Amino acid sequence: MDSARVSFTLYRVLAYVTGVFLLGLTFVAMPAKYLVGETARFSLVPAPPGLEHWFGPESPLMLFIAMPHGYIYMVYVLVVLWVSLGRRWGAGRTLGVVLAGTVPVLGFVVERRVVRDERAAREADPAPAQPAATG
| DSSP bridge pairs for 36 | 45
How far is residue 87's CA from residue 81's CA, in Å, rounded to a whole number? 10
- Identify the residue with better confidence: 70 or 122: 70
How far is residue 43's CA from residue 40's CA, in Å, rounded to a whole number? 5
| DSSP bridge pairs for 45 | 36
Q: Is 66 exposed, middle or buried (0-12, 13-18, 19+ CB in 10 A)?
A: middle
- Identify the residue with better confidence: 38 or 70: 70
The rounded percent of the chain whose pLDDT value lies above 70 is 90
What is the predicted pLDDT for the residue at 130? 55
Closest CA to 33 of 69, 25, 50: 25
How far is residue 78's CA from residue 36's CA, in Å, rounded to a whole number? 35
What is the predicted pLDDT for the residue at 35? 80
